[in-house]
A and B are shown apart, each in its own frame.
Chain A
């Protein structure tokens, strides 16, 4: 078919558009993936250890075993994402060959390159990348990311960093939209992002790709708050399978994400969920253990 084209920017960012208003859940086994799908997840993130365990166990965190990813792909009908280390383009090549639906170039794993991120334009598989501010988001998009998520502080159950990041990104977008065209050259310099992309954001008043929140979301109320702050959707990592009743909590977070502006529904789904993950306050984390400071 001569007129058919794969992996265009539109096709890559298009899948993220379909995930909007949904919850993407970290899973470490095929059984957890099934629970996530049954609870209404729009996608699962296949990994070997959830961020809370990576944090507790320490050591170098890498891409998951291909067998695990294969099993999860076979088990569910929803999209499957998997993580590659920052800058580790061979892990990304492996994930592409496994036909995952999205690659997360993630600060949750140990970075493989402290200078360069992956050149994501060379891949057919779309990428999601973390960001803490607008400049970082635009640099990732320049490298070919088709979706952005806040970094938050993964594995803590403390939503404060995610709040900071989504607020920062969206208020920087609003500030750009208020600028005159002749002020955008300096704005691009300050954001350390290409002028054309800065101009596009200033004129449209939004990021050119979907913006999710990740890192510390643990309750239905957390998810709804992120949606009210303007997120397109939510990643939940350790928050579900490190809690007392994962199936119930997962389903509740899905419902709260859809009815994010209806406190009655959020109250109803928040009842009787059992223990939330124990959590760590971000302020108690020594700076070298803060994952959100990885990447630039």
Chain B
């Protein structure tokens, strides 16, 4: 089993370290040939406009959209935005991969002054996470809420697809990545 980490931009190395700590073999993915080799994919935190721009320039969107239909994918923060079917506050012409039946809103808490750490409930257990210029999940559609903060959804799952507004890769919490790896058979 080989897990890809989309390495166009962002904190993909932190995801790689966390996945390796949990025993997974990891391949950074920047090209569709690399995407073909992996069994699952993580889309990291970063700037969604930059990732979208690079994915478009290098013709990755068709392969990514096909990938998420069949294979497990996890997106954190910018990665969650990339996986959302509907996005509020998108930059002009910004494209997304989609796949998760949710509506998200970019930078919904505000700028960096409103970034914060908090304890969230993931599958009933508490974990400290960081929300950095984070998106909010406005509507969950067919997705199931797997983590919440004061009653508001901050992570969702829909079949093989996982998305979180926070960064376990920054705080080092392993719950979300463990759930994700368990879903890969």
Which residues of chain A from 87 to 112 have a CB within 8 Å of any chain B CB? 96, 99-102
A: contact size bracket: 35 or more
Q: How far apart are A103's CB and chain B's nearest CB, in angstroms? A: 10
> By the criterion CB–CB under 8 Å, are A14 and B47 in contact?
no
| Residues 118-146 (chain A) with a chain B CB within 8 angstroms | 124-126
Question: What is the bound-complex CA distance between A73 and B107, given in angstroms?
Answer: 13
Q: Which 6 A-B pairs have the closest CB atoms?
A: A40-B53, A101-B112, A21-B9, A42-B47, A17-B11, A4-B118
In the complex with contacts A6-B114, A37-B91, A79-B9 CB distance below 8 A: no
Contact present for B117 and A10 (CB under 8 Å): yes
Interface assignment of A85: CB less than 8 Å from any CB of chain B = no
Contacts of B53 in A (CB 8 A): 38-40, 251, 254
- Which chain B residues have a beta carbon within 8 Å of chain A's beta carbons? 7-14, 30, 45-47, 49-50, 53-54, 57-58, 77-78, 89, 91-93, 106-107, 110-119, 130, 132-133, 150, 167, 170-171
Complex contact B112–A125 (CB within 8 A): yes
Does any Cβ of B come within 8 Å of A199's Cβ? Answer: no
By a beta-carbon cutoff of 8 Å, the part of chain A in contact with chain B is: 1, 3-8, 10-11, 14-15, 17-22, 37-43, 73, 76-80, 96, 99-102, 124-126, 251, 254-255, 258-259
Contact indicator A18/B112 (Cβ below 8 Å) = no
Chain B residue with Cβ nearest A124:
B113
B8 partner residues in chain A, CB cutoff 8 A:
21, 258
Are A18 and B47 in contact (CB-based, < 8 A)? Answer: yes
**A194 to B: closest C-beta gap in Å:** 24
Q: Are A15 and B112 in contact (CB under 8 A)?
A: yes
How far in angstroms is the closest Cβ of chain B from A274? Answer: 19
In contact, A259 and B118 (Cβ under 8 angstroms): no
**Chain A to chain B contacts (Cβ below 8 Å), 7 pairs:** A5-B118, A14-B132, A17-B14, A79-B133, A101-B133, A258-B54, A259-B30
In contact, B107 and A254 (Cβ under 8 angstroms): no
| Complex Cα spacing A126 to B110, Å | 15
Q: How far is the CA of A19 from the CA of B46 in the complex (A)?
A: 6
A254 to B8, CA, bound (A): 10
A78 in contact with B49 given A21-B12, A258-B8 (CB within 8 Å): yes
What distance in Å separates the Cβ of B134 from its nearest Cβ neighbour in chain A? 10
**Smallest Cβ distance from A31 to chain B, in angstroms?**
14
CB distance from B167 to the nearest CB of A (A): 7
Q: Which among A18, A40, A79, A254 is the interface contact of B111 at CB below 8 angstroms?
A: A79
Contact of A101 among B11, B78, B111 (CB under 8 A): B111
Q: Establish whether residues B115 and A42, one from each chain, have CB atoms under 8 Å apart when the complex forms.
A: no
Tell me how far the C-beta of A15 lies from the nearest C-beta in chain B, rounded to whole angstroms: 5
**Residues on A with beta carbons closer than 8 Å to the beta carbon of B10:** 18, 20-22
Assess whether B110 is in contact with A99, with CB atoms less than 8 Å apart.
Answer: yes
A207 to chain B, nearest CB (A): 14
